[in-house]
């Protein structure tokens, strides 16, 4: 069964600073990997996804993520954070032999002006 | 387009009461799922369905029932509510988890309190 770990519960950055949110997954074969963002009181919105091919994927709102098989990681990055990026971010893993999409526990991002 | 519609938005139940959380989508998605979101626990998959007449258990299915009689609707039933079921519930749909061009579309959630 697949699983995903987000080791950082809460991250605080200053506006304009760079950002990296960590995600580690567990799955025997090549997983499908996703990052979602949740603004307060809202449902989740897809930021980006990895299925195969280029290990550096670009998403919406200036986010990117890199799939590293050797480290079982799929970290989310943004070179310059905006105040509107304050939200909760979820990493999720899916698998080819199942229709379950499993989410991590989330990382809450706070942005200071 | 309405997308994924969840009703009600808020609900308070007493222990032992039953209720159904409604979820409907108008995107002709085959895949639908229910998650619960709790502080520090992220989203946990309760049940999911890959098409009408087909359902399966997720990570935390106990205490919940589902059925899928139509493509559009995927109700979640609590037969005897317990305080441990106090949570925010999200319904989501897509063409399929393994479908590259079809991310999960989420509803806006139902906040359930069981006293």
Is B101's pLDDT higher than 70?
no
B88 CB-near residues (< 8 Å, 6+ apart): B36, B37, B38, B109, B110, B111, B112
Distances (CA, A) of A35 to A15, A104, B49: 21, 10, 22
| Average pLDDT across chain A, whole number | 92
User: What pLDDT does residue A43 have?
Assistant: 84
Is B107's pLDDT higher than 70?
yes
Model confidence over A63-83: pLDDT tens digits?
A: 999 999 999 999 999 999 999
User: What pLDDT does residue B27 have?
Assistant: 93
3 state DSSP class of A60: helix
Q: Is B35 in contact with A6 (Cβ distance < 8 A)?
A: no
User: What pLDDT does residue A111 have?
Assistant: 97
Q: Mean pLDDT across the stretch B61-83?
A: 97
| CB contact at 8 A, B52 and B73 | no
- Shortest CA distance to B103 belongs to which of B9, B24, B3, B2? B3
Q: Which of B40, B48, B107 sits opposite A100 (nearest CB)?
A: B48
By the CB < 8 Å criterion, does B38 face chain A? no
Give the pair of three-digit tokens for residue A88: 């909760």
User: What pLDDT does residue A41 have?
Assistant: 80
Token pair 């069981």 in the structure block, residue: B114
Instruction: Give strand pairing partners of B49.
Output: B32
Q: Which portions of chain A are predicted below pLDDT 50?
A: none
Chain A to chain B Cβ contacts (< 8 Å): 61
């Amino acid at each position: 069964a697949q699983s995903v770990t987000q080791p950082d519960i809460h991250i605080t950055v200053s506006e304009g600073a760079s950002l990296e949110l960590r995600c580690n997954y567990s799955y025997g074969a090549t997983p499908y990997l996703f990052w979602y963002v949740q603004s307060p009181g809202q449902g989740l919105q897809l930021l980006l996804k990895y299925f195969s091919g280029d290990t550096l994927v670009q998403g919406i709102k200036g986010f990117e993520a890199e799939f590293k098989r050797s480290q079982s990681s799929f970290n989310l990055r943004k070179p310059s954070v905006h105040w509107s990026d304050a939200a909760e971010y979820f990493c999720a893993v899916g698998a080819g032999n199942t229709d379950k999409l499993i989410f991590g526990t989330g990382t809450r991002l706070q942005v200071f002006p | 387009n309405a997308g994924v519609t969840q009703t009600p938005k808020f609900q308070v139940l007493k222990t032992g009461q039953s209720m159904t959380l409604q979820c409907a989508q108008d995107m002709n998605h085959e895949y639908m799922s229910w998650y619960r979101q709790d502080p520090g626990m992220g989203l946990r998959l309760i049940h999911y369905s890959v098409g009408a007449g087909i359902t399966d258990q997720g990570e935390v299915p106990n205490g919940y029932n589902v059925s899928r009689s139509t493509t559009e609707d995927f109700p979640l039933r609590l037969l005897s509510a317990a305080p441990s079921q106090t949570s925010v519930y999200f319904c989501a749909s897509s063409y399929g988890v393994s479908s590259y061009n079809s991310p999960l579309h989420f509803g806006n959630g139902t906040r359930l309190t069981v006293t």
